[in-house]
Amino acid sequence: MTRTDSRVTIHMAASLDGFIARKDGRVDWLETSDEFAGGDTMDPESVAAFLKTIDCYVMGSRTYETALSFEAKGFGWAYGGTPTFVLTRRELPRTRETVEFYSGDLTQFVNDRLRTKFRTIWFVGGGVVSGECLRLGLADEVRYSILPILIGDGIPFFEKLDRDVALHVAEVKAYKSGTVELRYQVRKVGVPNG
């Protein structure tokens, strides 16, 4: 049975002009040098405590390949020991036991496999997968971290949205690093602020 308290969140970092990576996939611009004096700080303990609340990650194959290349360069694996589901129709290297591949009906996968087992389900990109997740009406929440930079062109946060998606602003936070975090709830038709 589906857990009634399960939540699907889409989270990514983007440039102010709405791109999650350059056209060729580079994310070198994620390191910015801005400082916002009035902003909050992110202390490592609270970040670690927050990450513990995430029960599983879901990502597209291109995001997985980027994560593998980061790991190969010595930056580590960003998803710890948390179960990580990679959407792909290809054969990709499985580098750890926590990684599982899936290909097929995404609605069925989220509702029948993930929501029955996990409470906090995080879609971490990329643009193709987050667009698909919203189009299919699977997301409850969107977390958008805006970095203080414009990059002009790139891969958009949401690929191929074919309709409007009404949102409710739930939280706005600005950090010393200049990153602004926006949290929106996806409004379900007929449910006020729902």
Ligand X SMILES: NC(=O)c1ccc[n+]([C@@H]2O[C@H](COP(=O)([O-])OP(=O)(O)OC[C@H]3O[C@@H](n4cnc5c(N)ncnc54)[C@H](OP(=O)(O)O)[C@@H]3O)[C@@H](O)[C@H]2O)c1
Site residues for ligand X per CB under 6 A: 12-14, 20-21, 25, 27, 59-63, 66, 87-90, 103, 106, 124-129, 132, 155, 159
Residues 6 or more apart from 24 whose CB is under 8 A from it?
none
CB count within 10 Å of CB 22 equals 16
CB count within 10 Å of CB 33 equals 8
Complex with ligand X: residue 155 or 186, whichever CB lies closer? 155
Using CB atoms, what's the residue nearest to ligand X? 126
Distance of alpha carbon 115 from alpha carbon 185, whole angstroms: 18
Complex with ligand X: residue 67 or 186, whichever CB lies closer? 67
Nearest distance from C-beta of residue 147 to ligand X, angstroms: 8
Nearest distance from C-beta of residue 30 to ligand X, angstroms: 6
Nearest distance from C-beta of residue 191 to ligand X, angstroms: 26
Kindly report each contact of residues 101-110 with a partner whose C-beta sits within 8 Å and lies 24 or more positions away, as own/partner: 106/132, 106/133, 106/136, 106/138, 107/136, 107/138, 109/85, 110/8, 110/58, 110/138
Nearest distance from C-beta of residue 15 to ligand X, angstroms: 9
Complex with ligand X: residue 149 or 187, whichever CB lies closer? 149
Complex with ligand X: residue 165 or 187, whichever CB lies closer? 165
